[in-house]
Amino acid sequence: MAGDPLHRWLAYFDRGSPPELIAEVKKMDEAIQTADERMVYVTGDEEAIHAYEMRQMAIYDMNTMRREGKMEGFEEGRRETNLEIARKMKAMGIPMEQIHVITGLSTETVETL
């Protein structure tokens, strides 16, 4: 483990690591020691913990909104593409039922094109 920083970090973050291993890892790696000191500082301050949790929730909410917005945009784009395909198929004289099956648009929608 001494030569592999990744394994040291994994041991540090593994909740199942024994305290002796954590102490040894902190001695081996200055970055881990610094991270641990900051963690102790932050977790000792209730206000800082609350601010951190609020920030994490805001980040989660923002990412969720982005994902949902992308899906809505994707669905809207797909619908617009299907409408255009249906228009072309209808212009070619393809039967409504076939247009419905291929595009997934309702027969009512296809009829109104």
How many Cβ atoms are within 10 Å of 99's Cβ, its own excluded?
Answer: 24
Residue 1, pLDDT > 60, answer no
pLDDT at site 17: 93
- State the average pLDDT over residues 101-105: 80
Q: How far apart are CA 21 and CA 99, in angstroms?
A: 66
Least confident of 17-26, 40-49, 57-66, 82-91: 40-49
> What burial letters (b/e) apply to 24-41, b meaning 16+ CB within 10 Å?
bbbeebeebeeebeeeee
- With a pLDDT cut of 70, the percent of the chain lying above it is 97
Q: Are 54 and 61 in contact (CB under 8 A)?
A: no
